[in-house]
């Protein structure tokens, strides 16, 4: 799950790139009605990010593994790692995205 630094980006149609968001890298694992969210070190974040857990449950598949990032963003689309780290309620104007 960790990125690797390289001197030159790979080229070709098989490569895709994405923005580096300021969030938590999370692997979502769905097995029938059960969903778990894991950090790169194996910590279970399913209860911490319940909205993401519930959203993954709605995926129309018996099983799935998703690799993404949970980010707290404001109305203008700016991420805030500080807001994400707050274990309390999401402040007004912010939303949790995966």
Supply the residues annotated as catalytic: 20
Dihedral over Cα of 38, 93, 83, 47: its sign:
negative
The pair of three-digit structure tokens given for residue 75, joined into one six-digit string = 């109305």
- Taking Cα atoms as reference points, which of 62, 75, 80 lies closest to residue 21? 80
């Amino acid at each position: 799950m960790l990125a690797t630094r390289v001197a030159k980006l790979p080229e070709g149609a098989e490569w895709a790139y994405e923005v580096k968001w300021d969030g938590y890298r999370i692997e979502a694992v769905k097995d029938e009605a059960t969903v778990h969210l894991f950090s790169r070190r194996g910590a279970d974040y399913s209860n911490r990010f319940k909205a993401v857990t519930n959203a993954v449950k709605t995926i129309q598949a018996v099983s799935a593994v998703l690799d993404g990032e949970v980010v707290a963003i404001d109305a203008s689309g700016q991420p805030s790692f500080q807001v994400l780290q707050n274990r309390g309620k999401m402040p007004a104007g912010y939303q949790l995205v995966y």
